[in-house]
A and B are shown apart, each in its own frame.
Chain A
Amino acid sequence: MDFLTILNNSAAEILSPSTAAFALATIGLNVHFGYSGLLNFGQAAFMAVGAYAFAIFTMQVDPTATLGWPMWLSFVVAVLVAIVAAVAFALVLGIPTLRLRGDYLAIVTIAAAEIIRFTVRTSDYSAVTGGSQGLRGQDYKGDITGLNPLTGTTYGFGPWTGTAYDTWIRILAWTLVVVALILVWLLMRSPWGRVIKGIREDEDAVRSLGKNVYSYKMQALVLGGVLGGLAGIMYVLPRAVQPDNFATAMTFYIWTALLLGGAATVFGPLLGSILFWVLLAFTGGMLSGLQQIGAFGDMSGTQAGQLRFVLVGVALMLLVIFRPQGILGNKKELSFHV
């Protein structure tokens, strides 16, 4: 067992672009659940909508090649298309459900997320969505690769070494995370944020003050959904688009990260995401290391790998029972009532 490699791999997760994408999705969920009290169990679907809209637009329209647009314009327009798609998805979800009780929203969002996944992975539309195989990364990364200002071969040090492309995506993704954090921080201390938090605490009280609760909830759903859509783009830029990456498991991991860091706090989602991936990499490395030196008898390597997800589930249960406010949260500011 090479303990140093395990530590190295775990430390690499701290700054990996996937962690940034995941943190972005968690910040979005924090706007939904932490601040507005909306039980969104379909955050992975917002990611899928963003990722597919971005990739499909880039591949099918391909303005750089067909219309001669500069690469930055094609990229920005593709991102805008993804944002519009995420907004549309939020409206479609919100219109029927935001008037209903909270647990109905939970069931509808998880159902809608599965509808999205079944739709993008069906063989009927595989000409556009790639079916269960998904889309190849090289087919939509042309613009962003061309925009890369970095020309060297590797950047960074220690566990955080990456190729020029990796580093470029890393910079983009983490910049977006910082922007999202500042946005959420500013919004939540604005009058808008106070209304949103008021809705979480007591919907009827806010309604009696003459606020349109439905409209405010919708705005929160759209905002968090757009962050989820952007997270989807950032998630697929370092890899390919795989429909099964956006399964309900992804949503549940985002929830675990949010509750770990602390819902209704600005930095909770960031801390939770980083801790979640570092701990997952660490326990994965430790378990496979222990398995290799024979600590588990004749258990296979894949089996040892399953154990860490058992641990994720148990951790989520214990967290929610014994420390629902997470690491940074304040127990008074919690939205565990529907």
Chain B
Amino acid sequence: MKTSSRPRRRGLRRAIAVAFAALGMVAGGVSAATAADLPSTEATDQFIFQGIIRDGADPLEGVEVTVSGNGVEETAATDDTGAWSIGVAEPGTYTVSLDPATLPDGITLRSAEFESREFTTASTSQIGVLFPLDSAGGGGGGGTGGDSGTGGNTGTGGEGGEPAAPGGGTGEPGSAAAGTTTNDFWSTVLARTISGLGFGLLMALGAIGITLIYGTTGVSNFAHGELLTFGGVVFYATTTLINWPVWVAVIVTLVASAAFGWMHDWGIFKPLRRRNVGLVQVLIVTIGLSIALRYLFQFLIGGGILGLSVPRGDVITLGPVIMTTADIVSMSVAIVVLVAVGLFLTRTRIGKATRAVSDNSSLAASSGIDVDKVIRIVWVLGALLTGGSGILYTYFIGANIKWDVGFTVLLLLFASVTLGGLGSAFGALVGAVIVGLVTELSTLFIAADLRYAVALLVLILVLLFRPQGILGRKERVG
């Protein structure tokens, strides 16, 4: 593990070059996509309207929902879990209506205006439609999110309600951030590229945390996903439950995340270092921590998907691509933060000390660097970045939060980190962007619920052919 600062610099430059190349590809793609006008190769259901109709906690079976518009009229009835879904191939405006006659006796829609509403397909391929109900007993509404209508009819959960998760299992893929106005192949590619880039950038925030912690302490932190969920949960609590302004909520979330990271090191990992506990044991400790935290979150916010009462912003049409201002803001924020982290690591004393500890901690300690302090800073910084990516991720998947979102992306974070080279912060950035792009672009060819599998397959292939990762230094890993 010996190195000078040269290979690192080169790594940075290469990372920046790759990042710019990726951006250039997008910019080039805009003109290319407007020029190319290939006929659509497939006419599958590109957009899916869906929801779960429930009276309080009881699912209602056999309620009929109709989607009409653009020459399509299709009716579906809810199954025994109260779920329904109707797919349409063309983007556009559709009327989604519920037949009140099929509702059980004593249950009505909360307001007649919910009986039939118009939805425009835009940024997400899955559009959740909520029908708030009133039972005769005056009981609960139709969804868990309450009826604090958040404006925008674009996003999943845009009605402040509960976007349905088909199957409801763990590892439900989030929906893409960018949609298209037309259905031709190249604009879909462009839209997926943009959302892949966005996804990659926000994953990079979390992945850098993992890789810094791995680099300085050697710990593969399996509880890192819970840091992401923590950010999302605090943001949900501050915005939706107690209605603080968004900027206050963001600050509170970031401070809480940083404190959470500090507590991780203070409460668990520093004592473990003192005890000289082996790395594999620490790895299993992080697994235990992950289980405990995950179920603690489920204990706190329940097992369902909760909508955030924060609007996703206006819909923006950029050539053939549709996205929301929230998508653009989160991508910009991610880029700014990543540049700041890059500058921190290369320009400041503490950043340099961090990289020194990462390269060789005993050598760093003997040259007067306080290794414990550096590790503490890394934990705080890592948790801060990951908590921030938690906020952005809730937007990426459609302004909602679930108790295990972090665990769902954890393996993708590991894939990013391994792809870029374990322990290299700039590698993590490149790896995350590649994983994000692979994940989103793979949906062009295979089913959307397999896209995470593709990213994990890439991880295994990289380990097979280049175990040190793309930017990792050659060292014996066997």
Contact = CB atoms under 8 A, between A and B. Distances in A.
Contacts of A99: 478
A117 B173 CA distance: 13
Nearest to B280: A336
A121 B288 contact: no
A15 B432 CA distance: 47
B459 interface: yes
Nearest to A247: B170
Interface residues of A, number: 57
A317 interface: yes
Contacts of B302: 302-303
B315 interface: no
A320 B291 contact: no
Interface string A234-250: 00000000011001110
Given A252-B291, A259-B284, A132 B456 contact: no
Contacts of B418: 104, 107
A119 B450 contact: yes
A103 B467 CA distance: 12
B295 interface: yes
B331 to A, nearest CB: 26
Contacts of A310: 291-292, 295-296, 299
A49 B104 CA distance: 43
A102 interface: yes
A118 B279 CA distance: 30
A324 interface: yes
A114 to B, nearest CB: 6
Interface string B246-288: 0000000000000000000000100010010111110111011
B105 to A, nearest CB: 27
Contact of A114 (B171, B277, B283): B171
B330 interface: no
Interface residues of B, number: 51
Nearest to B296: A310
A111 B459 contact: yes
Interface string B80-109: 000000000000000000000000000000
A202 interface: no
A110 interface: yes
Main SS of chain A's interface residues? helix
A118 B275 CA distance: 39
B415 interface: yes
Nearest to A253: B291
A149 B411 CA distance: 46
Query: Which of B166, B294, B463, B477 has most A Cβ within 10 Å?
Result: B463
A244 B165 CA distance: 14
Interface in B191-213: none
Contacts of B292: 309-314, 317
A139 interface: no
Contact of A338 (B280, B447, B464): B280
B301 to A, nearest CB: 10
Nearest to B284: A320
Nearest to A242: B169
Contacts of B449: 118, 121-123
A285 B309 CA distance: 37
B280 A39 contact: yes
B288 A313 contact: yes
Nearest to A244: B169
Contacts of B325: none
Contact of A321 (B275, B296, B414, B446): B275
B290 interface: yes
A320 B288 contact: yes
Contacts of B284: 255, 259, 316, 320
B220 interface: yes
Contacts of B415: 111
Contacts of B279: 103, 338
A293 interface: no
B119 interface: no
Q: Which 3 A-B pairs have the closest CB atoms?
A: A313-B292, A313-B291, A316-B288
Interface of A: 39, 96-97, 99-104, 106-108, 110-112, 114-115, 117-119, 121-124, 131-133, 243-244, 247-249, 252, 255-256, 259, 302-303, 306-307, 309-317, 319-321, 324, 335-338
21 contacts: A96-B460, A100-B478, A102-B280, A111-B456, A114-B171, A114-B456, A115-B457, A117-B171, A118-B171, A247-B170, A306-B296, A307-B299, A310-B292, A311-B292, A313-B290, A315-B288, A316-B284, A316-B285, A316-B287, A320-B284, A335-B280
Interface of B: 166-167, 169-171, 220, 268, 272, 275, 277-281, 283-285, 287-296, 298-299, 302-303, 407, 411, 414-415, 418, 446-447, 449-450, 452-453, 456-457, 459-460, 463-464, 467, 477-478
Given A39-B280, A110-B411, 10 more contacts: A115-B453, A118-B449, A244-B169, A252-B287, A309-B291, A309-B292, A313-B294, A316-B287, A320-B285, A335-B280
